Structure 1
Amino acid sequence: MAIEVRIPTILRQYTDGQKAVEGTGDTVAELFTDLETRHTGIQARLIDKDSGGELRRFVNVYLNDEDVRFLDGISTKLADGDSITILPAVAGGMV
């Protein structure tokens, strides 16, 4: 099962500069574990081990344009041909 994962600029240091990589897994968690086998260090930037293995607070993950936080989080099921987009949260502005 092939899943396309779009990588934001800030995480491309872990994917040798690639904008998109391919991975496998039945869930988002399994996909991130699979990515870690080829792109060492990326999983730690996505998953917060201190919070029981949930997504880091400032990382947004979309499955086919739907935020996985509104689905089943990292337990969200994946299917062949799905697309995952990883986006760091952007904050700022004027006070």
Structure 2
Amino acid sequence: MAIAKKYGVDISAQKARQFNRSDFEYYDKILVMDRTNLRDVLAMASSPAARAKVSLFLKDDVVPDPYFDNNLFDPVYQMIAARCEELLKELVV
């Protein structure tokens, strides 16, 4: 939260939840941060159309988990912010 706040983003009210099968019906695009989540979410897909909605957030790479190395919080924030900018350009037509 401190790194996000440093960049003017308040994430203090955010909450995590488990992904569930009904999310395939609700969302057009499902982005995951690592290959374990990719595998797990794809395993929940009931159709090729559902599977097509799922991809890695960083395209062909994973987002490192900064909880194992506190020095990664700022670089990971930068990766995520840069990818969000790319996504906005890709998704806004």
Q: TM-score, with normalisation over the residues of structure 1? A: 0.29
- In our comparison, the structure showing a higher alpha carbon Rg is 2
More helix by share: 2
With CA pairs under 8 Å and 6+ residues apart, which has the higher RCO, 1 or 2? Answer: 1
More strand by share: 1
Q: TM-score, with normalisation over the residues of structure 2? A: 0.29
